[in-house]
Amino acid sequence: MTTACRDGALALLALLGYCGVLVATEASLAPAWFLLGALGAVVIEALTLRYRQPVRSLWERQVVQLAAIVGVLGVALLAALAAATALTSLVAGGLVAYLLVLGLVTVGVISPPGRVGRK
């Protein structure tokens, strides 16, 4: 499995679990916070390009990947139970944007991180 496929599968798993928690708790989303979360994910992805190797080395550890999934689902549950619409919307927007960016890289619409800035 390629890195992009694995990362996409993990993000999709997180998003599906997140959506499950939101539906089960009848949480609502706020469009403005959702868009801010999406923008935040894009900004974070852009910033990680500056430290591509250390970030990739850390992300390759399975314990980090597992902690990320557990963390997202934990935040989903806590935010939904607390009816924290802003937080649930931020995280949902971030997950959706990350999947979109990953999809655009996968189909070749935007350059993969290793090729950004190269001619």
Q: What one-character-per-residue DSSP string does 3-37 give? A: HHHHHHHHHHHHHHHHHHHHHHTT----HHHHHHH
Provide the pLDDT for residue 110.
78
Q: Is it the case that residue 20 has pLDDT exceeding 70? A: yes
Provide the pLDDT for residue 80.
78
* Residue 95 pLDDT level (bands cut at 50, 70, 90): confident
Distance (Å) of CA 40 to CA 7, 16, 81, 93, 96: 18, 20, 23, 9, 11
Q: pTM of the prediction?
A: 0.77
The three-point CA angle 65-84-64 to 5° equals 10
Distance (Å) of CA 97 to CA 12, 54, 62, 63, 81: 11, 23, 23, 24, 24
Listed in sequence order, the residues at least 6 apart from 85 whose beta carbon sits closer than 8 Å to its beta carbon are 27, 28, 29, 30, 33
Provide the pLDDT for residue 99.
85
Average pLDDT, the chain: 83
Q: pLDDT of 23-60, one tens digit each? A: 887 888 899 999 999 999 999 888 887 888 888 888 88
